[in-house]
Amino acid sequence: MRAGAQAVPTAPTGKETLVWSDEFNGNVRRGQPDPAKWTYDTGSSGWGNKELETYCAWGSNASPCTAEQPSAYLLGDGYLHIVARKMGDGVYSSARLKTQSLHGFLYGRIEARIRIPVGQGIWPAFWMLGDSIAAVGWPACGELDIMENIGKTPSTVYGSIHAPGGDLTKSLTLPDSQTLGEAFHVYGMIWSPGRVQFYFDNPSNVYARYTPADLPKGAIWPFDTGKFFILLNVAVGGNWPGNPDSSTKFPQEMLVDYVRVYAEGQDSPKAAAEHSSVREILH
């Protein structure tokens, strides 16, 4: 599929099994994302990037969060809504959902269908971190950035890996002045031993490939050593996107149609279940 073509949901091949997903269905207005699948990062530490937002958990009334205006919710329309709001001068709320301590994955095809927000200083992402982060920290745990976008490059999706001693990024830019926020797109990763590939809209449209040989000499490839958990978030400001300016409108909203994880070569429901087994992180 050419860059910029309309995204449609992809289906598993004959060699794939759907082992985990969230379709964000439900009829409850302002409903809670499934607590059996998602938990939250919270706070306003800057997250190592000098970000401006405070991440809010479901039901939090810790300022600037408010339970009456959740930053992540279901609306009965089949989407997860992640909303970044301006709550005051230089004060922003948003959400960062994660499957940490609930579900972890090693290898397979992992994708989400998303309509991203737009605007200077807005930084949506769909990504993964190693389950080992609590024990070894970052970047030793490894990071897989399946989709990142920043408001000043509205037509470009970035796919990156972060490893001890090496950071690699490649990108795909839509043609003809199209922007990613105009429509839903599928952002995905094909992950196998010693190889990570990122694709856009269709698994056949791979725009980035990484192997251990691509890392600088002495860097460590951490992507074959354990399970990773999924994150979805909208950041505001930071070293890379820069801060919002007078052109940035709020609220900003990311819509997620689904997140799906497929395993290769799973021949039975039991094998599929074992592939997607839950791994608890002990703090």
Give the single-character DSSP code of 107.
Answer: S
Query: What b/e string do you get for 138-164 counting C-beta neighbours within 10 Å, with b at 16 or more?
Result: ebbbbbbbbbbbbbeebbebbbbbbbb
Tokens of 37: 């699948």
Q: Which strands form 228-236's sheet, in the order they lie side by side?
A: 39-41, 96-98, 228-236, 122-130, 143-148, 156-163, 166-173
Question: Which one of 148, 182, 264, 274 is the catalytic residue?
Answer: 148
The rounded distance, in Å, linking the Cα atoms of 47 and 6 is 33
**Rounded distance, CA 38 to CA 60, Å?**
15
In sequence order, the 6+-apart residues with CB closer than 8 A to the CB of 133 are: 141, 281
- For residue 221, give both structure tokens: 């490839």
User: Cα separation of 36 and 103, whole Å?
Assistant: 9
The DSSP code for 21 is E
Mapped onto helix, strand or coil, the DSSP state of residue 130 is strand
Q: What are phi and psi of 19, to 5 degrees?
A: -105, -15
Q: Is 143 a catalytic residue?
A: yes
Catalytic-labelled residue, pool 23, 143, 182, 264: 143
Q: List the one residue out of 71, 121, 122 whose CA is nearest residue 97.
A: 71
Q: Cis bond leading into 164, ω under 30°?
A: no
d(CA 138, CA 35): 25
Point out the residues that are catalytic: 143, 148
